[in-house]
Amino acid sequence: MELSKLLSELLQTYAGPGLTLISFGAATLLPFSSEAALMGAIWSGLSPGEAVFWASIGNCAACAFNYSLGYWFGKKIEDRISESKTYAGWAERMSRWGYWALGFSFLPFVGDPITVLSGFFRQKFWIFALVVFSLRILRYTALAYGFGL
């Protein structure tokens, strides 16, 4: 079955919870857009507030999942790569600018890898969650209400 058809059926059959699953998948480095799913859910009859709520749950949960993956893999491979100059450079940059990088975590294509790197470099989760979740929810709110819906 074609991916777009599958996603459409998921939205039609399960509405909000379906949007949560789609938003989760879209934020875990899979190649589809949670923004398109949000708009599709609204155009299919879900209220903008409900759509923002359900999409935010899935997307924020996926960001926490990405952070966890980075944290877990970071512990597993850090010993192997810690002598690398490349790793040392990235570790220094992340310690200096890592929290500022979270400001770009809501952007398509670069945002999801940033959430993984945040876990890899063990940024404080409460700061991560505050910044990343807020930006993701604001993005959905602007999209849902910014087009006069």
**What CA–CA distance (Å, rounded) separates 48 from 63?**
22
For the chain, give the percent of residues with pLDDT over 70. 95
Backbone dihedral angles phi then psi of residue 109, each to the nearest 5 degrees:
70, -45
Judged against a pLDDT cut of 80, whether residue 74 lies above it is answered with yes
Judged against a pLDDT cut of 50, whether residue 21 lies above it is answered with yes
Average pLDDT over residues 94-119: 87
For the chain, give the percent of residues with pLDDT over 90. 49
Locate tokens 């509405």: which residue? 15
Residue 147: the pLDDT is: 62
Residue 3: the pLDDT is: 65
Average pLDDT over residues 90-115: 85
Judged against a pLDDT cut of 90, whether residue 47 lies above it is answered with yes
Residue 125: the pLDDT is: 97
Question: Which of the two residues, 120 and 32, has the higher pLDDT score?
Answer: 120
**What CA–CA distance (Å, rounded) separates 112 from 67?**
9
Judged against a pLDDT cut of 70, whether residue 1 lies above it is answered with no
Q: Which residues contact 2 (CB under 8 A, 6 or more apart)?
A: none
Judged against a pLDDT cut of 60, whether residue 148 lies above it is answered with no
- What is this structure's pTM? 0.85
